[in-house]
Copies of this chain bind each other. A is one copy, B any other.
Amino acid sequence: MAELVATDREGADTQASELKDLIARQRPGWSLEQPFYTSPGIYEIERRGWLANQWFLLAHRSEIPDAGSYILRELLGESVILARDGEGTLRGFYNVCRHRGSRICERDGRSNSLTCPYHAWSYRLDGSLRAASALSEEIDVSTLGLRSIHVRETGGLVIGSISGDPQVAAALSNAFEPGLRFHGVPHARIAARRSYPTQGNWKLVLENFIECYHCFPAHPEYCRVMKHVDAVAREASKASIAWQESAAAWLAKDASPASPLTMTAAVDQLAICSAARAPIGGGRLTQSEDGRPVAPLMGELKTFDGGVSTFRCEPFIFLAALNDYAVMFQFSPLAAEQTRVDVSWLVDSSADESKVDVARMIWLWDVTTGQDKVLIERNAAGIRSRAYVPGPYSKLESLPARFVARYLSGLSRGNGKPS
């Protein structure tokens, strides 16, 4: 018989024990067994535990600029309201009325209160219940405020989490803030956004995003633009050594001296939250097909130096800043085998629209993300087979191997219990 309640005790214990055995038999350095990529049961455990503890990139601050503005976002199957209250403080709430559970907001807006359209219960932007008619006198209305999620703003990014550790958000802020300010991300606006709904488990999407073993077979445009692909997508080679040397020379000589970022993090990539700079190479000033700028300079850069700054906070937060635009990646797990990838391109908020060439700006990541969607969906299709067994990660897949190890370790600590 199907379960009646997602939190039924006995079932949860069986699941926890089953999951423990499954985790224990995963082989380090090899991809995961099928259920991690396909099981709705494991996805539900993740959604209530491991995933709920992660931080996600929810918005850019230009999307919720002023006191009184509020926007809706999806987070792990939840509709959440991001609101800037009267003091300008950012708040995050579940979009669920405390009366009968109705969705309160249907679209973004601006107001000093949120009123449920069903029975007109009304809430202040700090979440407290302001008005509800015909309530019994016995009801303590102070207990009926909106339930909140964690949110934090840093360097123009709005991040949020169901139940994540605030210390992780602080670490992200430490790692990101100086570089994001240098690149003018707090004062940017969104010039373009594209969605890539992908029929595959969120782990397949992330594994794809953090390895470049597939770049040569699958991303000819990306390889053409990014000279460093030789360094990261081939084994130690003359090309790799030559690249390291030319990049170091670039950093010493050509890179903007105002930048607070170094190449270190990009090289060792061990820190979970990191920011680093490197040259695009090949004489390109930005990530465009011909290397020429697509928008006005951003932030503190005085001239084009052809660098790319990478902000990474595994598993879900990634942003790349070029000289003239930034590109922000959002990954939204939707179901066991469904993930949405959103890519947003940011330019300086004061940039004249006639100076922003959107088509040339989005070209590289639009074509590359579209290719990845196809690769991931083929990967997911193959994993559904009874013949699928884990395979060995190559030397160029150390990041997915590390991600998978951390994931298993975190899942194991959580013991599969709902948060």
A residues bordering B, Cβ < 8 Å?
A: 1-6, 8, 10-12, 14-15, 18-19, 22, 29, 31, 35, 39-42, 44-45, 48, 77-79, 94-104, 106, 117-120, 132-136, 139, 144, 147, 162, 207, 213-214, 216-218, 234-235, 375, 378-379, 381-389, 391-392, 394-396
The CA-CA distance from A95 to B98 in the complex, in Å, is 44
Q: Give Cα A384–Cα B120 distance, bound, in whole angstroms.
A: 20
**Which residue of B4, B12, B97 contacts A19 across the interface (Cβ within 8 Å)?**
B4
B residues within 8 A CB of A15? 1, 4
Q: How far is the CB of A97 from chain B (nearest CB, A)?
A: 6
19 additional contacts, CB 8 Å, given A78-B387, A103-B379?
A1-B3, A1-B6, A1-B11, A2-B2, A4-B19, A5-B39, A31-B100, A78-B386, A79-B385, A94-B385, A96-B387, A99-B391, A100-B391, A101-B383, A102-B378, A134-B234, A134-B235, A136-B394, A144-B391
User: Which of A10, A22, A100, A386 has most B Cβ within 10 Å?
Assistant: A100
The answer to whether A217 touches B378, judged by C-beta atoms less than 8 angstroms apart, is no
Q: Which chain B residues border A29 with CB–CB below 8 Å?
A: 136
B394 touches A135 (CB 8 A): yes
A395 interface neighbour in B2, B101, B134, B388, Cβ under 8 Å: B134
Which residues on B sit within 8 Å (CB–CB) of A98?
Answer: 389, 391
A100 to B389, CA, bound (A): 8
In the complex, the chain B residue whose C-beta lies closest to that of A98 is B391
Taking the nearest CB of chain B, how far is it from the CB of A11, in angstroms? 3
7 nearest A-B residue pairs (beta carbon): A1-B11, A94-B387, A120-B217, A134-B394, A2-B41, A101-B383, A103-B378
Contact of A135 among B106, B139, B392 (CB under 8 A): B392
Which residues of the other chain, B, contact A44 by a CB distance below 8 angstroms?
2
A375-B117, A378-B102, A382-B96 are contacts. A12–B1 as well, Cβ < 8 Å? Answer: yes
Are the C-beta atoms of A101 and B382 separated by less than 8 Å?
A: yes
Query: Within 8 Å CB of A218, what residues of B?
Result: 117-118
Q: Is the CB of A101 within 8 A of B391?
A: yes
**Residue among A6, A99, A117, A235 having the largest count of chain B Cβ atoms under 10 Å:** A99
Instruction: Give Cα distance in the complex from A388 to B102, angstroms.
Output: 9
Residues of B within 8 A of A395 (CB): 134-136
Q: Most chain-B CB neighbours within 10 Å: which of A19, A45, A234, A384?
A: A384
A238 to B214, CA, bound (A): 73
Given A5-B18, A41-B3, A217-B118, answer yes or no on A392-B99 (Cβ-Cβ < 8 Å).
yes
* Residues of B with C-beta under 8 A to A119: 213-214, 217, 394
In-complex Cβ contact of A214 among B4, B48, B118, B234 (8 A): B118
Nearest Cβ on chain B to A216's Cβ, whole angstroms:
7
Write out the residue numbers on chain B whose beta carbons fall within 8 Å of the beta carbon of A2. Answer: 2-3, 40-41, 44
**Chain B residues with Cβ under 8 A from A48's Cβ?**
386
The residue of chain B having its C-beta at the shortest distance from the C-beta of A387 within the complex is B94
Assuming the contacts A78-B387, A388-B101, asked whether A118 and B4 have C-beta atoms less than 8 A apart, the reply is: no
The answer to whether A381 touches B103 (Cβ under 8 A) is yes
B102 engages A375 (CB within 8 Å):
yes
Q: How far is the CB of A147 from chain B (nearest CB, A)?
A: 4
In the complex, the chain B residue whose C-beta lies closest to that of A138 is B392
A1 B22 Cβ-Cβ under 8 A: no
Distance in angstroms from A342 CB to nearest chain B CB is 21
A214 to B22, CA, bound (A): 50
Q: Are B31 and A101 within 8 A (Cβ)? A: yes
* Option from B79, B101, B133 in Cβ contact (under 8 Å) with A379: B101
- Checking B4, B11, B97, B384 against A39 with a beta-carbon cut-off of 8 angstroms, the contacting residue is B4
Measured CB to CB, the nearest residue on chain B to A31 is B100
A-B CB contact pairs (8 Å), 25 listed:
A2-B40, A3-B41, A4-B18, A5-B22, A5-B35, A5-B39, A6-B35, A29-B136, A77-B385, A78-B386, A79-B385, A94-B385, A95-B385, A96-B383, A102-B379, A103-B379, A104-B382, A117-B218, A118-B378, A120-B216, A134-B235, A135-B392, A139-B392, A144-B391, A147-B387
